[in-house]
Structures are given as C-alpha cells and as structure tokens.
Amino acid sequence: MIIFATMGQAQQPENSEEVDIKEIQDMYRKFVTECPSGRLFLHEFKRFFGVDPTGEASEYAENMFRAFDKNGDNTIDFLEFVAALNLVFRGDLDHKLRWSFKVYDKDNNGYVDRKELRSIIDSIYRIKKGSKTGVADGQLTVDEVVDRIIQAVDSDGDGHISMDEFIAGAKQDPWLLNMLKLDMNPAKWMLEQRRKSAHF
C-alpha cells in the first residue's frame, strides 16, 4: 500500500489505497488521443470512462462531469481534466469535501437541498447494486440516509446545506464521512470504469 505521507495525507484512510500511476498516465494519453480538439463533451466523458448512457452510473458520471467543468462551458478541457484528476487522486480531505459538495450542488447555487442530496445518494445506491460489492441487506434506505445526513449536517435547520455545514458535518460524523467517501474519493470509481472499458 502506498500512503501519501509526504503530502500530509497519512491521516486519511481513503488515501491508503494504492494509486496506479500508470493508469493515470494512460488516462492522460487517452484524453490527448481521443480529444485532439482539447475539449471533452459529456457524451465523450461517459465514453472515455466506459459508462453506459442509460446505465446506473450515468447520472453519477454527469455530476462528476459538472464538477470537473470549472468554467461551466459544458466541456472539460485538458487543464480542467488534469486539475480534477490531481485533486481526485491527491487532494487533501478539505479539497475532496469541497469537490464532493460541488458534485451534490447540481444547480450550483451554493447550497445542497433535499432533492439534490437524494438524487446523488440514489445514484450511489444504484451503482453499488450494480457492482460486485452490492448493497448489504438491512442497509438504510435512500430516504433514511438523506434524513440522517440532513439531521447531522444542517446545523441551522433551514433545509439547505451550505458548504461550511457540509464540511463541518462530514468531519464531525464518521458515518457521514463514510457515506460521502463514495463521492469525495471518485478515484476508485474512475479506475474501475477504465478497467471495465478496457475489457471491451
């Protein structure tokens, strides 16, 4: 196992997974090869990661795409791609939580409401059901998870979760941090998608 202790990340268990540098380099090469224009559109992003446009990972991929698209022009250029991969694979906890918040905040208004939260949690559940790990019997329903997250994070009770509430709540509640890990550490998802698409 490689732990990025030199980057001040040894305290974060999600970074204890080995990151295959060759796979990151392969993604860079594939980007340059498949996108000579230097811009990746949503349908190309899904194809890049081998995501079925109608499959369970489609909505999750759309949310990741939106979070990668820093300037909001509905494309990901090479610099956005490199910056996003670097953050996803090497970012510290605060950066990953901020990135995760952007994934949840679909309308980009600076708050996550119940509908946005439910949409992402539902996507995560559908991905897990379609993966080898699956969803354990007796696990909380999507609505129970959403209720518990809002109760833990919405400190002022206004029904909206700000970025500060999101980060503070995740840091104080190990269960919540574990729930969000699926989004704030998409490195594993990205590598799994690349491996799946390589087999076709």
- Report the number of distinct structural domains present in the chain: 1
- 11 inside domain: no
pLDDT digits (tens, 9 = 90+) for 3-29: 222 223 333 344 434 456 776 777 778
Higher-pLDDT residue of 141 and 34 is 141
Does residue 192 form part of some domain?
yes
Examine residue 34 and state whether it is found in any structural domain, yes or no. Answer: yes
- Taking the C-alpha atoms of residue 121 and residue 141, their distance in angstroms, rounded to an integer, is 10
Between 100 and 181, the higher pLDDT residue: 100
From the list 194, 183, 185, 180, the residue with the least C-alpha distance to 51 is 194
Q: Is residue 151 part of a domain?
A: yes
pLDDT at position 182 over 70: no
In a domain, 15, yes or no: no
Give the pLDDT confidence score for residue 106 in this predicted structure.
85
Q: Is 69 helix (H, G, I), strand (E, B) or coil?
A: coil
**Higher pLDDT among residues 91 and 138, named by residue:** 91
Alpha-carbon dihedral angle through residues 79, 40, 97, 178, given to the nearest 10 degrees? -140
Residue 38 lies in a domain: yes
pTM summary value:
0.68
**6 or 36, higher pLDDT:** 36
Contacts with 176 (C-beta within 8 Å, 6 or more apart), sequence order: 148, 149, 152, 153, 169, 170
d(CA 168, CA 137): 30
Enclosing domain of residue 183 = 20-198
The answer, yes or no, to whether residue 137 has pLDDT greater than 50, is no
**pLDDT score at 25:** 76
* 9 domain residue, yes or no: no
Place of tokens 């202790």: 5
Sorting pLDDT into bands at 50, 70 and 90, what band is 94?
A: confident
| pLDDT at residue 81 tops 50 | yes
CATH number of the domain that residue 134 is part of: 1.10.238.10
pLDDT-derived band at 150, boundaries 50, 70, 90? very high
Task: State percent of the chain over pLDDT 90.
Answer: 14
